[in-house]
Amino acid sequence: MSALAAAVVFAWLGMVLAISFLEAPLKFRAPGITVPLGLGIGRLVFRALNAVEIVLATAVLAAVAADRPGPISLVGVGMAVAVLTVQILVVRPQLRRRSDAVLAAATAPPGGIIERSRAHYAYAGLEVVKVAALLTAGISLQLASVAG
Q: How many CA atoms lie within 13 A of 14 on its CB side?
A: 7
Q: Indicate if the alpha-carbon torsion angle 103, 93, 80, 120 is positive or negative.
A: positive
The whole-angstrom separation of Cα 145 and Cα 2 is 5
Q: In this predicted model, what pLDDT tens digit does every residue of 25-54 receive, in sequence order?
A: 898 888 998 888 888 899 999 999 999 999
- What pLDDT is attached to residue 111? 52
pLDDT less than 70: residues of the chain = 106-115, 148
| pTM score, whole prediction | 0.89
The whole-angstrom separation of Cα 99 and Cα 37 is 11
Q: How far is CA 87 from CA 24, 94, 99, 127, 146, in A?
A: 16, 10, 16, 9, 33
Sorted by where each begins, the domain ranges of the chain are: 2-147
